[in-house]
Amino acid sequence: MALLQDARDQVDRAFTGGSKGLDMENAFGGALSAFRRRYTRDLTDYDLAITGVPFDQAVTHRPGSRFGPRAVREASTLQVFDPPWGWDGFSPLEELAIADYGDAGFDYAQVSEFPGALRDHIRGILAQGAGCLSIGGDHYVSFPILQAHAEKYGPLALIQFDAHSDTWPDDDMDRIDHGTMFYKAVKSGIVDPERSIQVGIRTVNADPLGVETITARDVRELGTAEVAARIRARVGQHPAYLTFDIDGLDPAFAPGTGTPVWGGLTSGQAADILRDIAGINLVGGDVVEVAPQYDPSGGTAVAAAHVLMELICLWGWTRR
């Protein structure tokens, strides 16, 4: 009966809710926000901000991830009723003050201005003392976000879940390409390759630039516990940024993406690895490349919303 009463009383919590707590608003109704968190750009007394980056003009194949933030917000409404599974009772929605900061603004017709606009957007979050997790958008968006984080934390350890290395050579820093931004991140010194690691890779790139690579086949053969141990050993307690390209999952689990590649991770493997790296010094992260129109089931957005919750847990685990 109490749950029914909560469902009657809790409406449009994106505007009427507080900064903490589980939520009983009907998952199928109400104004959408990330995990029913309140929309605000005043992060006073907030621990963590979630922001969307609806940009997909750097893709090499299918566009559509500009609709990712909206789809992931909708899918996230399924996760607000209980603490997340597998986190030993840790309930980040109850213990952390989390805001939905809304989306980054930019002029879609002035693509060259986008990187600076996004850097400034993320700087505005970090300057208020809150952590930042982002929803893409194509994978290029990680580059300006990394730049803003590196200004605050110095060179970062990068943990990347992906089918592609995204370190193909590209010395033109003005090119906006979702396949070369981590080459630029390493070359410009904002990512420390000796502390960085990629998981789920299953495309050819002759030069990983010193970043450790764990292929999708390695995950199957080594097992998730060993993969997590290798991530923890590589990263240590260095400030880390985790980026999760949804095409790191096999298309059977995440068909709604621009460049799907067979032979990828299962959602269970990804969940186990993410939970087993609890304790890393995560300072930021993103989930990207959700293109919902290629997945009428909505399963890709659901998977991305679960990844986002795991990122919240990882960020909050050492800040409880």
Residues at the annotated binding site for Mn(2+)?
Answer: 139, 162, 164, 166, 245, 247
Dist. CA 7–CA 29, nearest whole Å: 10
Q: Check if the beta carbon of residue 185 is closer than 8 Å to that of residue 173.
A: no
281: left (phi over 0), alpha (psi -120 to 50) or beta: beta
104: left (phi over 0), alpha (psi -120 to 50) or beta: beta
**Which residues are annotated as part of the binding site?**
139, 162, 164, 166, 245, 247
Helix, coil or strand: residue 103: strand
Residues in CB range of 204: below 8 A, 6 or more apart = none
* Maximum separation of any 2 CA atoms in the chain, in Å: 62
- What are the structure tokens assigned to 164, written together? 């592609």
Output the CA–CA distances (angstroms, integers) from residue 311 to 7, 17, 113, 143, 223, in the order listed: 27, 22, 29, 18, 21
Dist. CA 20–CA 18, nearest whole Å: 6
Q: Check if the beta carbon of residue 199 is closer than 8 Å to that of residue 215.
A: no
- What are the structure tokens assigned to 185, written together? 């991140």
Dist. CA 143–CA 149, nearest whole Å: 10
Q: Check if the beta carbon of residue 83 is closer than 8 Å to that of residue 310.
A: no
Kindly state the helix (H) or strand (E) to which residue 151 belongs, with its residue range: helix 142-153
Nearest to 265 by CA among 288, 240, 246: 246
Helix, coil or strand: residue 39: strand
